[in-house]
A and B are shown apart, each in its own frame.
Chain A
Amino acid sequence: MASITYSNPREIDNTVDVPGRRSTLVTGNQTFSSVTEMVCRVAEAPQPTIWYVLFGFSSLTALMFVSLIGYLILTGVGIWGNMNPVFWAWPIVNFVFWVGIGHAGTLISAILFIFRQNWRTSINRAAEAMTIFAVICAAIYPGIHVGRAWLAFWMFPYPSLNLWMWPQFRSPLLWDVFAVGTYASVSLLFWYMGMVPDIATYRDRSKTPLRRFLYGLLSLGWTGSSRHWLRYEKAYTILAALAAPLVLSVHTVVSFDFAVSQVPGWHTTIFPPYFVAGAIFSGFAMVMTLLVPVRSIYKLENLITLRHLDNMNKIILATGSLVGLAYATEFFIAWYSQNMFESFAFMNRAFGPYWWAYWTMVSCNVISPQLFWFKKCRTSPIIMVIISIFVNIGMWFERFVITVTSLSRDFLPSSWGYYRPTMYDGLMFFGSFGVFLTLFLLFCRFLPVIAISEIKGILSIEAHREAHSHDHH
């Protein structure tokens, strides 16, 4: 067994840009075998105590979520705080929030792949997994949000023999079904396909017949032959090309739920780019929230280096500023349009009964990422985790502000209302985190959290050569 060289990542600062030289993306003079060893250990070695603690907690939370769904379906959506005129409230806020989080994965894996951003290799696997799990959380909400959840399948265009009718294709909700469905399936495929060589490595290292069988099944008979690699690379590129537009399309379509309607505060053309920027923003923040602890718990600092985190923080800073610009633009347009309802909707957001939500959103989304202008903040794991959590809070509030404040005061003042969530709103939002975390912990436990084969492709030449001489890999 090859030895793993751990070096303190602080000693090799790969965040320094030296002109003319590429910074290393893997630190500590790694070899092919040490990379394999480092990643496989995560699944093969006994899990640390913290894993069990977290898993116990999150799976109970997920169980609560499932039970609450049962109660909801038995009783009615009235257990939530939804009301007239706020017909959509927390469940839709949560849906958009989770879909947004699900954005980072495909952006990292597809767009950064196409642009040959090699630093993606250390983080793409975990980010994609996060995407899948976030989309699962997101997809639960529209299903249970409808008044008659047992008929939610009517939104799918299935050939129904007793109705002889299709869904109503002009509805953005239907577009959502297609957009999220496509996104989920392509992301899943992309994630899984990328994992095949690594699962084969897991298979080869398995010590029990059951694991060998299961990993063998999942690795689809991968042998690592050149022909396999050739086809794998081609397929991967094609899938990346297919997935890239989806990064833009999903949240664009989700934003259509709002933008296509005529509610003041929803009916704005800025929504598609604004939503996409926000989604990438929140997605990267979530990746950050997850990877910093994972990297430290599983000792992956040499693979997920400070440079990776630094790069991600720069993206958070950029998208955070974009989101801030969007907020300002909305206000400008509301004033510039001189539309009475539009103007009021935005004044009401900032100074109406929900001012607290609006200003929470602004401070978390616009102000807190500005700290990333400082390199010290970009490279300090504690600070970046704190900021990323703030960003996620802020992005949740953004969806709350858009959904709830716009609906609570629209055209006719006679129908204005003030929305208050119930206990069930809170518990079910919390419960969806349980589902998310449970799935992510299982992923860490059983699947390669880092793309082993891809990392090997970017090891520096020296390390490469050395690896050859020792291992004949």
Chain B
Amino acid sequence: MNYPLPNQSKKYFRSIGELENSPEFDQFLQREFPTAASEFPEGVSRRRWIQLMGASLAFGGASGCRYNREQFAEFASKPEGRVAGVPQYFTTNFEWAGRAVHVLAKCLEGRPIKLDGNAQHPIYAQSVTSEHNDGKEAKFESAGTDTFTQAAVLSLYDPDRLGSVLHRESKRGDFESSDDDQVADWTSFTAFAAEQAKSFEASKGKGLAIVFEPSSSPSWHRWLADTKAKFPEAAFVEYESVYRRNQSKAINASGGGKASSFYRLDKAKVIVSVDDNLLGSDPNSVVYARQFAMNRGPSEKQMNRLYAIESQYSITGAAADFRLAIKSSQAGLFLDRLEALIDAGKTIEGSKDEKPYNELIWQEKLDRTLQTIATDLLANKGNSLLTVGAHQEVDVQQTAIRINAKLGNFGKTWILLDIPNASQEIDTIRLDDFVHLALGTTESGKAAPAFKTAWLLVPNPVFTLAGDIALSGALENIPSVVYAADTDDETAQLADWVVPAAHPLEAWGDVRAVDGTYGVGQPQIESLRGGKSLLEIGLILSGATDVSSTQYVRNTATEIAGGSLSDRQWKEILHAGFLASSAAKPAEVKIATDKPTITAVPGAEAVKATTIDLGSDSVDELNLEIVVHPSDSVYDGRFANNGWLQELPQPITKLTWDNAAIMSIRTARKLGLKQGELVHLTQGEASVRLPVFVVPGHAEGSIAINVGYGRSRAGSVGGAVRSPKDTFTVGTNLASLRRWNQHSILTGVSAKGTSIPYKLSTTQDHFAIDDEGGMREIAARAPQLVREGTLEEFSKAKTFAKMHLHHEDSMWKEPAIDQHHAWGMTIDLNKCIGCNACVVACQAENNVPIVGKEQVSRGREMHWLRIDRYFQCDYDVTEDKGDFRDPIDPKIVQQPMACAHCETAPCEQVCPVAATVHTEEGINAMAYNRCIGTRYCANNCPYKVRRFNYFNFNQQYGYFYGWNDNREKANAKLQQLVLNPEVTVRGRGVMEKCTYCIQRVQNGKIKARATGDGLVHDGDIRTACQDACASQAIVFGDLNDKTSRVYAMQHDPRAYGLLEDLNIKPRTLYLARVRNVPRRLMTYDQINPQWNTSPDRHGSHDHSHGETGHDNSHEEAKANS
């Protein structure tokens, strides 16, 4: 048996292969989920590491973003301005899967440990909220990031990354043959590439195929264009693992040409998101979340309104003011009906005595929703936006474009840009054509295989590509395959030259932001595992070795800057992270509003009668729909070896380390399926088996699945081959059910239960449909925990969220607070969309370990910050119908929950050794080395935000419950480099929890004393979660500073403390959520809010369903007032 990790870099790393054929090695592979990320080959001491890094810094003049080139020796003399232990910040840009990321990297002793958004970047800076854009408060604007960006640093230190060039002579294929792995080096690869380039130059590139991912990088575009010029006959294959091109195709078809598009949600008063997770999985979700949050003030003048029409409950649906669940395959029909209403141009105002929305039957609900949306859109021409998910077909996209064009939204809320792209003129072929050409299969029969050589410059296509395309067969048919690999993955098995690709933080590169702004990516660290960037590899392959990637990027920058770029200007670009005023010009195009005549669109009446019928009886067992989404955690599988992302609770489901078939309760019941049961989903020939996960509010008859799981060669975290017969994977591989990736919505699916249980690890109890008592209680409590009202209610009574409390005297004396500072936090639930970025940011900042699937199932996850998710339903209606296990029109509310730093903290009272105490500034602090681990504090914490180290999660974790294992200790070395040295790494047996990022507070005070006027100004200190929050929902600051934003927010009428009736006086307050629901779509409860008249939510109702169902447990809802 063996494990195909390369035996390379003998100088620095002892190969893991030395452990081969030993039982220990076997066990080593079986440890499913080790410490922070994964393994590091034994034998690199921290000291050796520092030496290595020192050398890298010294000799890595090419990476000269940090120090001037002349500082080449060891730090015998300190570089100017550099203080050991003081972090340095550098801007950079990078991209993955075509998404540009603009970050500010925090580097400590030459290693990047934290990424945050570059707040100065125009794409973020343009979104300044109307509430506080008076300049003074501009510095509050942290840019925000998404989860993937936060977790990128962990991938950087992943020891499973490929560490050398591999040359597989006896070609690839199965597991056995990898015995023939030959470790080669860059010299031999370069020689090989030069030879190939020469021969292709002679043949004009005939027989060469270049497979690449769509990119926004101008240098990459330039390289493509250069390569095309050099090898004109070569085939250029553009492959996107998650296909998003339908929209640009539709724009093109509607007369928009090749313009790229970009939304301005901040300019939109009405946003309709049709099957589009605009705030969640959209590549620009960070920008959109910022723009969306800008008008969530709330005030009647500026508050926007978001409608979400979708099948799977997404965070956009949770954030929406109104949500309707329909099948994804019916989105087009929904839009057709909407278009008909817009064309009719009639606004429909409901009558006063209409039934409330929740009392309607399904057809009426649908009609009323369509009418209301149409009316709203018509009333906000030019101020509205209707978007459609990227996975919807071109004709659906076109309908959406037409509607927007009719509403006059183009150029206002929907911007079309003319971003220059040097590679635009290259004709690309699709991957399926590439496969056919490579195999030599044509429609007429057999032809000669077309390719001699393929360059795979795209991450792991063999895994991400669907099951219906024989890419692996095609690759076997090509004599020479070069693959730029992150790890020795599924695709690398089929390539004869595998070259290590650098992490984006290790390489030079450039990007265009979504608005066209040009930015340069500079390496933050010398390549750790000897990889090279795609651009570098591309330059080697195309024989352009005379120019370094640095120079190449600089040449591109010079070109974009208008032909000349001085050293000073170049440094300015590097410093700022972007080239000022390089944003693209709006495209001069005209969008057609007429329907294409060729496609017959079903009439609105016909649609109403036949297809859109989603009543409870419409689940057709043999004609289900499957919607394939990329995973919110591991995307298309490329982040499978990233423990932070694997353990990140997926939004809504809170599932970790797994994918599942997500469906509604009624659908599951109809199909005879139970939560956690394995189900066979079959469409035609293809079939997969995966566990059922029920979520209320999912569209009936629709099943959502996430790809990216079930990798067999991701690494020690995300899946590996242990022996020829034993492969461990995380989750289920859905390849066989995926179609050639232009189709994400599959219909005609049948489902068959197996009654085999499967253990799913969730961080929040899954929706326990077998426990009505619990569900009833949650339904009663949720409105008090996450308070919300409608905009109408808010404008009548601003203090609707305040509860009438009997303020009793406290037994406890509040700890004395320093006169200078009183730190506090507020979280605006009206802005929070539950995107999880703060959760990973906290993990990265505070060295929070991961614990693995088994420990998560034991409830031992360590996240200091979590996002609580509650389903809300109309209590009375549900009470009448008597089933809390299947709520009607459930709404989701989310609440980020971390230590609230109570003034009279219940945890402090009960600690026998005074390990958790108040600081003078009001922070509830943990003295880790005083803690003996009685866990009493955690019991007494009503928020359950304390986390206990049941094992040495940060050191080792593995088989036999973490029995001390020397190998594990050695392996922890590389991943330890990701740790933040400013935060203690907690050992076994101690309690830990949110500290309000006390290290940042201290740094802020030190900085103020050392360099400022001695005073900490509002906004100088930001917590990690605040920095990561794209929607600016989290605000931290000094409550003693009456001018601070946090002070103002704590005195907002919407402010409330969670469980404040316990009299524990939390420092973290929440601002109640305000839903801007149109009157006609309000439920009875929303029309007749109870908050401001009586403290109890379900008091004296006397409407039609008020009389029944007020039993004891209903009374309980009143009790807590």
Task: Name which of A210-218, A371-379, A407-415, A430-438 contacts chain B.
Answer: A407-415
Q: If A87-B935, A147-B990, A262-B1062 touch, does A173 touch B912 (CB 8 Å cutoff)?
A: yes
The answer to whether B452 has its CB under 8 Å from any CB of chain A is: no
Chain B neighbourhood of A347, CB < 8 A: 773, 1113
Q: How far, in Å, is B466 (CB) from chain A's closest CB?
A: 37
A87 near B1062 (CB under 8 angstroms)? no
B1119 near A338 (CB under 8 angstroms)? yes
A171 near B911 (CB under 8 angstroms)? yes
The answer to whether A417 has its CB under 8 Å from any CB of chain B is: yes
Chain A neighbourhood of B906, CB < 8 A: 261-262
B859 near A413 (CB under 8 angstroms)? no
Chain B neighbourhood of A415, CB < 8 A: 764, 943-944
CA distance A173 to B934 in the complex (A): 9
Cβ proximity bits A328-367 to B, threshold 8 Å, 1 near / 0 not? 0000000101111101100110011100000000000000
A263 near B961 (CB under 8 angstroms)? no
Chain B neighbourhood of A152, CB < 8 A: 932
The answer to whether A155 has its CB under 8 Å from any CB of chain B is: yes
Chain B neighbourhood of A77, CB < 8 A: 933, 950, 989
A411 near B943 (CB under 8 angstroms)? yes
B910 near A76 (CB under 8 angstroms)? no
Q: If A78-B860, A165-B914 touch, does A146 touch B1119 (CB 8 Å cutoff)?
A: no
Q: How far, in Å, is A67 (CB) from chain B's closest CB?
A: 14
Q: If A146-B934, A147-B935, A338-B1115 touch, does A75 touch B961 (CB 8 Å cutoff)?
A: yes
The answer to whether B795 has its CB under 8 Å from any CB of chain A is: no
The answer to whether A228 has its CB under 8 Å from any CB of chain B is: no
The answer to whether A139 has its CB under 8 Å from any CB of chain B is: no
The answer to whether A81 has its CB under 8 Å from any CB of chain B is: yes
The answer to whether A470 has its CB under 8 Å from any CB of chain B is: no
CA distance A79 to B961 in the complex (A): 7
A173 near B990 (CB under 8 angstroms)? no
Chain B neighbourhood of A87, CB < 8 A: 935-936, 938-939, 948
Q: How far, in Å, is B857 (CB) from chain A's closest CB?
A: 9
The answer to whether B1029 has its CB under 8 Å from any CB of chain A is: no
Q: Which of B883-912 contact A (CB under 8 A)?
A: 895, 897, 906, 908-912
Task: Name which of B724-732, B775-783, B1073-1081 contacts chain A.
Answer: B775-783
Give the contacting residue for A168; candidates B773, B912, B949; CB below 8 A.
B912
Q: How far, in Å, is B651 (CB) from chain A's closest CB?
A: 14
Q: How far, in Å, is A177 (CB) from chain B's closest CB?
A: 7
Q: If A353-B771, A413-B782 touch, does A167 touch B914 (CB 8 Å cutoff)?
A: yes
Q: How far, in Å, is A151 (CB) from chain B's closest CB?
A: 5
CA distance A338 to B1119 in the complex (A): 5
CA distance A407 to B956 in the complex (A): 29
A76 near B940 (CB under 8 angstroms)? no
The answer to whether B964 has its CB under 8 Å from any CB of chain A is: yes
B781 near A76 (CB under 8 angstroms)? no
Q: If A87-B938, A147-B988, A411-B1059 touch, does A171 touch B910 (CB 8 Å cutoff)?
A: yes
Please report the total number of B residues contacting A with Cβ < 8 Å. Answer: 67
Q: Which of B923-940 contact A (CB under 8 A)?
A: 930-936, 938-940
Chain A neighbourhood of B952, CB < 8 A: 76
Q: If A76-B962, A147-B988, A148-B990 touch, does A88 touch B939 (CB 8 Å cutoff)?
A: yes
A413 near B939 (CB under 8 angstroms)? no
The answer to whether B913 has its CB under 8 Å from any CB of chain A is: yes
CA distance A338 to B909 in the complex (A): 26
Q: If A87-B938, A165-B914 touch, does A75 touch B1119 (CB 8 Å cutoff)?
A: no
Q: If A78-B962, A339-B1120 touch, does A147 touch B764 (CB 8 Å cutoff)?
A: no
A340 near B780 (CB under 8 angstroms)? yes
CA distance A429 to B909 in the complex (A): 30
Q: If A147-B949, A155-B912, A261-B939 touch, does A413 touch B869 (CB 8 Å cutoff)?
A: no
CA distance A338 to B1096 in the complex (A): 12
The answer to whether B796 has its CB under 8 Å from any CB of chain A is: no
A410 near B1115 (CB under 8 angstroms)? no
Give the contacting residue for A416; candidates B765, B962, B1118; CB below 8 A.
B765
A75 near B942 (CB under 8 angstroms)? no
Cβ proximity bits B192-225 to A, threshold 8 Å, 1 near / 0 not? 0000000000000000000000000000000000
Chain A: CB-nearest residue to B867: A414
A76 near B989 (CB under 8 angstroms)? yes
Chain B neighbourhood of A343, CB < 8 A: 1116, 1119
Q: If A348-B773, A413-B870 touch, does A75 touch B935 (CB 8 Å cutoff)?
A: no
Chain B neighbourhood of A348, CB < 8 A: 773-774, 777
The answer to whether B326 has its CB under 8 Å from any CB of chain A is: no
Chain B neighbourhood of A352, CB < 8 A: 771, 773-774
B765 near A417 (CB under 8 angstroms)? yes
Q: Which of B1098-1119 contact A (CB under 8 A)?
A: 1112-1113, 1115-1119
Q: How far, in Å, is A196 (CB) from chain B's closest CB?
A: 37
A416 near B909 (CB under 8 angstroms)? no
Chain A neighbourhood of B860, CB < 8 A: 78, 83-84
Chain B neighbourhood of A165, CB < 8 A: 914
Q: How far, in Å, is A233 (CB) from chain B's closest CB?
A: 40
CA distance A412 to B946 in the complex (A): 13
Q: If A78-B860, A338-B1119, A416-B765 touch, does A147 touch B948 (CB 8 Å cutoff)?
A: yes
A344 near B777 (CB under 8 angstroms)? yes
CA distance A288 to B897 in the complex (A): 51
Chain B: CB-nearest residue to A170: B909
Chain A: CB-nearest residue to B860: A83
Give the contacting residue for A88; candidates B931, B935, B991, B1113; CB below 8 A.
B935
B912 near A416 (CB under 8 angstroms)? no
Q: If A84-B947, A147-B949, A174-B912 touch, does A262 touch B940 (CB 8 Å cutoff)?
A: yes
CA distance A411 to B855 in the complex (A): 23
The answer to whether A248 has its CB under 8 Å from any CB of chain B is: no
Q: If A147-B989, A412-B785, A412-B942 touch, does A172 touch B859 (CB 8 Å cutoff)?
A: no
Give the contacting residue for B932; candidates A147, A261, A410; CB below 8 A.
A147
Q: If A76-B961, A81-B858, A167-B912 touch, does A412 touch B1119 (CB 8 Å cutoff)?
A: no
Chain B neighbourhood of A412, CB < 8 A: 785, 868, 897, 942-944, 1059
The answer to whether A260 has its CB under 8 Å from any CB of chain B is: yes
Give the contacting residue for A417; candidates B785, B859, B909, B940; CB below 8 A.
B859
A413 near B781 (CB under 8 angstroms)? yes
Give the contacting residue for A414; candidates B868, B913, B932, B1120; CB below 8 A.
B868
CA distance A374 to B859 in the complex (A): 48
The answer to whether B963 has its CB under 8 Å from any CB of chain A is: yes
CA distance A351 to B772 in the complex (A): 10
The answer to whether B951 has its CB under 8 Å from any CB of chain A is: yes
The answer to whether A50 has its CB under 8 Å from any CB of chain B is: no
A78 near B950 (CB under 8 angstroms)? yes
CA distance A154 to B764 in the complex (A): 35
A151 near B932 (CB under 8 angstroms)? yes
Q: How far, in Å, is A225 (CB) from chain B's closest CB?
A: 48
Chain A: CB-nearest residue to B775: A413
Chain B neighbourhood of A78, CB < 8 A: 855, 860, 950-951, 961-962
Chosen A-B contacts, 22 in total, with CB atoms closer than 8 Å, are A76-B988, A77-B989, A79-B961, A147-B949, A155-B932, A167-B913, A170-B910, A171-B909, A171-B911, A172-B910, A173-B910, A262-B906, A262-B942, A338-B1118, A339-B1120, A352-B771, A412-B897, A412-B942, A415-B943, A416-B765, A416-B774, A417-B859
Partner-B contacts on A (CB < 8 A): 74-79, 81-88, 145-149, 151-152, 154-155, 163, 165, 167-168, 170-174, 177, 257, 260-263, 335, 337-341, 343-344, 347-348, 351-353, 407, 409-417
Partner-A contacts on B (CB < 8 A): 764-765, 771, 773-774, 777-778, 780-782, 785, 855, 858-861, 866, 868-870, 895, 897, 906, 908-914, 930-936, 938-940, 942-944, 947-952, 961-964, 988-991, 1059, 1062, 1112-1113, 1115-1120
Closest 5 CB pairs of A and B: A147-B933, A147-B989, A78-B950, A340-B1120, A415-B944
Not counting A87-B938, A146-B932, a sample of 9 additional A-B residue pairs whose C-beta atoms are within 8 angstroms of each other reads A78-B855, A78-B951, A84-B944, A168-B912, A171-B912, A340-B780, A407-B939, A414-B869, A415-B764
